[in-house]
Amino acid sequence: MRVFLASIPLPGTSVVVVGAGDAAAAKARLFDGSGATLRWFAGPEVEPDEAWIARWPTAKDLSGARLVFIAVSDPGKATALAGLARASGAQVNVVDQPGLSDFHTPALIDRGGVVIAIATGGVAPVLARQVRARVEAALPQGLDRLARLAEGLRETVRATLPDFTARRRFWEAAFRGAAPDLAVEGRTAEARREMLRLLNRPDRVQGVVHLVGAGPGDPELLTLKALRALQDADVVIHDRLAPAAILDRARRDARRIYVGKRRGEHSVPQAEIATLMIAEARAGHRVVRLKGGDPFVFGRGGEELEAMRAAGIDVIAVPGITAALGCAAAAGVPLTHRDQAQAVSFVTAETRPGGAGPDWASLAAPNHTLAVYMGVAGAAAVQAGLLEAGRAADTPVAVIENGSRPDQRVVTGQLGGLARLVAHERVVSPALLIVGEVAAWAQPQTMAREAAA
């Protein structure tokens, strides 16, 4: 190990920044809200400002400083200032001059009470920043809430569990249960109650359910929050719209349970899926219920949310890019346009047996885009309903099969021939129907199908 990273408490300390320009400003920003007293000496060549002092520091100015950052371009001046600061007892960093520095500034990820540093000893700062970007993407913004929660309970845990090993086991269990997810979501009161419950009943760790939207299929369209949930899951309960490329983002040793459905072929009834989710959470597992698109847009996420709440299971919804957005973008179709579409509606062509269908009369206005989910089998009904309600037969339509995926296919036509188009092109689910003037933007795309053939 060539570099040792130390954690320096900042409240009550004095930090000095010397120099003008972007480099000095970047160092000064590091200490906003840190609890340290910051003084910034920008040099005599700048105009005075409330943010800085327009002169060089003296030995008296540097006395008592814990850290001094020097960002001046003149090597001689930088060397002299570094010597002055070092003589005052401070640790010195000279920007871009590792040989003149007592320490180097690492690439920092700041989550309040949790700070992560990546260092290369000053030899490759750009590499450190790139590593930081990758690590930062894996950390939730609300991590500081969890650190503050743990800090607030520390003495209670110590008094309840005098034995060090028992305390360590408690914290290990607490950070694997539902409390961390609740805390980073801002539900700190619920998280605190869960930790206290676990402290009193350490044998009963309760898990948590994440209702996660997988998006339309392209793994790069997963949200960072969805990716974090997958990478921390013990169990992934997924449907058929979650492709292998997305499932591969889950933790390698997570159990995968398939509960997919397709029209006329229900492999697992919805009630059994809810029962399975509850059982896994009560066993103390982090459960990800992975659903194509967004859980709350024709994904029955509301039913599962209701079932978890009724069972007393903590549940967190993680939205996904719904098919209308992902597929339309992949096909180059703007869902709204100042000249062609002032409204957009999401409609499902599949309803409960005996249930009411869409109100086509309210959806048939011109300059109104319809994104029709689950419309392959119901294409004839969509066509008939809109034509009967007055939509013009020459209204453009686009059918996007496997939108955003490598085997995406786009076929285009007019509303009057929608059912014939779907049948002739042998469109299969998942596919999205777009009806409206903006559908004319879609370019027919058959390369993926032809290549597969």
437: domain CATH number is 3.30.950.10
Report how far residue 359's alpha carbon sits from residue 367's, in angstroms, rounded to the nearest whole number: 17
**329 and 424 together in one domain:** yes
Last residue in a domain, options 203, 223, 248: 203
- Of 77, 144, 232, 261, the active-site residue reads 261
**245 and 317 together in one domain:** yes
Report how far residue 10's alpha carbon sits from residue 2's, in angstroms, rounded to the nearest whole number: 25
- What digits encode the pLDDT tens for the residues 396-415? 999 999 999 999 999 999 99
Tell whether the model's pLDDT for residue 450 goes beyond 60.
no
**Mean pLDDT over all residues of the chain?**
90
What's residue 219's pLDDT? 93
* Residues spanned by the domain of 386: 324-452
Annotated catalytic residue 261:
yes
**294 and 232 together in one domain:** yes
Helices (H) then strands (E): counts for the chain: 17, 18
Burial-class residue 176 by CB neighbours within 10 Å (0-12, 13-18, 19+).
middle
**219 and 181 together in one domain:** no
**448 and 353 together in one domain:** yes
228: domain CATH number is 3.40.1010.10
Tell whether the model's pLDDT for residue 265 goes beyond 60.
no
33: domain CATH number is 3.40.50.720
Q: Does residue 447 lie within any of the structural domains?
A: yes
What's residue 172's pLDDT? 81
- Mean per-residue pLDDT for 292-314? 94
- Mean per-residue pLDDT for 280-302? 93
Structure-token match 């990820």, residue found: 109
Mean pLDDT is lowest, of 43-57, 117-131, 146-160, 269-283, for 117-131
**214 and 243 together in one domain:** yes
What's residue 354's pLDDT? 67
Q: Does residue 125 lie within any of the structural domains?
A: no
What's residue 27's pLDDT? 93
What's residue 177's pLDDT? 81
Give the up-direction half-sphere exposure of residue 442: CA atoms within 13 A in the CB hemisphere. Answer: 31
In 3D space, the residue among 248, 244, 245, 251 whose CA is nearest the CA of residue 229 turns out to be: 251
Q: Does residue 126 lie within any of the structural domains?
A: no
Considering its fold, how many domains does the chain have in total?
A: 4
Last residue in a domain, options 178, 203, 228: 203
Which H/E stretch holds residue 208?
Answer: strand 208-213
- What digits encode the pLDDT tens for the residues 154-212? 999 999 999 888 888 888 888 888 899 999 999 999 999 999 988 888 767 788 999 99
**45 and 155 together in one domain:** no
Q: Does residue 94 lie within any of the structural domains?
A: yes
**417 and 434 together in one domain:** yes
- What digits encode the pLDDT tens for the residues 18-39? 999 899 999 999 998 889 999 9
150, 193 Cβ separation under 8 angstroms: no
Q: Does residue 111 lie within any of the structural domains?
A: no
Last residue in a domain, options 304, 321, 338: 321
Structure tokens of 369? 């885009």
Annotated catalytic residue 239:
yes
- Mean per-residue pLDDT for 260-278? 80
What's residue 96's pLDDT? 86
Q: How confident is the model at residue 446 (pLDDT cuts 50, 70, 90)?
A: low
Strand 315-318 to 208-213 pairing: parallel
Q: To the nearest 5 percent, what fractions of the chain are helix, strand and coil? A: 40, 20, 40
Q: Does residue 345 lie within any of the structural domains?
A: yes
Handedness of CA 94, 97, 101, 104 (dihedral sign): positive
Structure tokens of 22? 């972007």
What's residue 25's pLDDT? 94
pTM greater than 0.85: no
Mean pLDDT is lowest, of 101-115, 208-222, 252-266, for 252-266
**447 and 330 together in one domain:** yes
What's residue 13's pLDDT? 95
- Mean per-residue pLDDT for 139-155? 90
Structure tokens of 282? 């009560």
Tell whether the model's pLDDT for residue 367 goes beyond 50.
yes
What's residue 263's pLDDT? 57
Tell whether the model's pLDDT for residue 448 goes beyond 50.
no
Q: How confident is the model at residue 97 (pLDDT cuts 50, 70, 90)?
A: confident
Burial-class residue 209 by CB neighbours within 10 Å (0-12, 13-18, 19+).
buried
Q: Does residue 129 lie within any of the structural domains?
A: no
Q: Is the model more confident about 304 or about 266? A: 304
Q: How confident is the model at residue 240 (pLDDT cuts 50, 70, 90)?
A: confident
**328 and 447 together in one domain:** yes
Q: Does residue 133 lie within any of the structural domains?
A: no
- What digits encode the pLDDT tens for the residues 313-358? 999 999 999 999 999 999 999 999 999 999 999 999 887 666 678 9
**317 and 375 together in one domain:** no
- Of 234, 239, 294, 314, the active-site residue reads 239
What's residue 44's pLDDT? 92
What's residue 264's pLDDT? 55
**331 and 448 together in one domain:** yes
Tell whether the model's pLDDT for residue 283 goes beyond 60.
yes
